[in-house]
């Protein structure tokens, strides 16, 4: 049994979902581990992680429309506006989604379902450099 760790750098272009399934799979393969547990941890409070459908891009647009209605930018409810109208909404959106995800690995394959992709969700309006810590334990 052993461990491997890595930091995945993701340049988000703007608010929205960025799929990272492929680079995650490539790193897992590079470790040589075949059975274990992969953990992803995003090191930010205004971006988060999500497993979502990877087939129809409309799912991502709909998710964004839903979040924009639920947590509107510039909501007068919010006091913390240091970085702009999208600052506090980004923290709330992060709180409602995931900072961390763990996925079992079996016989060299992540146990994602057929339609599941792994996404970084950028919650700020402008893109940012984001870092996802990857941890794998197994054999």
Q: Which residues bind its own copies (CB under 8 A)?
A: 1-3, 5, 35-37, 39, 41-45, 50-53, 56, 58-59, 61-63, 65-66, 69-71, 77-80, 82, 88, 91-92, 94-104, 106, 111-116, 131, 133-135, 137-139
Q: Shortest approach of its own copies to residue 77 CB, angstroms?
A: 5
Q: Shortest approach of its own copies to residue 106 CB, angstroms?
A: 6
52 near 19, Cβ under 8 Å? no
Pick 13 or 57: Cβ nearer its own copies = 57
DSSP string, 87-139: HHHHHHHHHHSBSEEEEEEETTEE---TTEEEEEEEEEEE--EEEEEEEEEE-
Residue 129's contacts (CB-CB under 8 Å, 6 or more residues apart) are: 9, 10, 11
Calculate ∠ Cα 80-84-87, nearest 5°.
60
Pick 25 or 135: Cβ nearer its own copies = 135
Question: In angstroms, rounded to a whole number, what is the distance separating the alpha carbons of residues 123 and 127?
Answer: 9
Pick 30 or 81: Cβ nearer its own copies = 81
Pick 23 or 98: Cβ nearer its own copies = 98
Q: Shortest approach of its own copies to residue 14 CB, angstroms?
A: 19
């Amino acid at each position: 049994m052993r461990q491997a760790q890595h930091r995945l750098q993701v340049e988000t272009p703007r608010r929205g979902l960025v799929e990272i399934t492929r680079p995650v799979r490539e790193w897992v393969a590079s470790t040589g581990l075949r059975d274990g547990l992969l953990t992803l941890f995003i090191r930010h409070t205004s971006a988060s992680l999500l497993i979502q459908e990877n087939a129809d891009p409309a799912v991502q647009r709909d998710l964004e429309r839903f979040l924009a209605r639920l947590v509107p930018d510039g909501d007068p409810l919010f006091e913390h506006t240091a970085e702009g109208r999208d600052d506090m909404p980004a923290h709330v959106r992060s709180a409602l989604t995931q900072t961390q995800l763990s996925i079992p690995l079996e016989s060299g394959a992540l146990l994602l379902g057929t339609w599941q992709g792994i996404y970084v969700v950028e919650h700020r309006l402008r893109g940012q450099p984001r870092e996802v810590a990857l941890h794998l334990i197994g054999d």
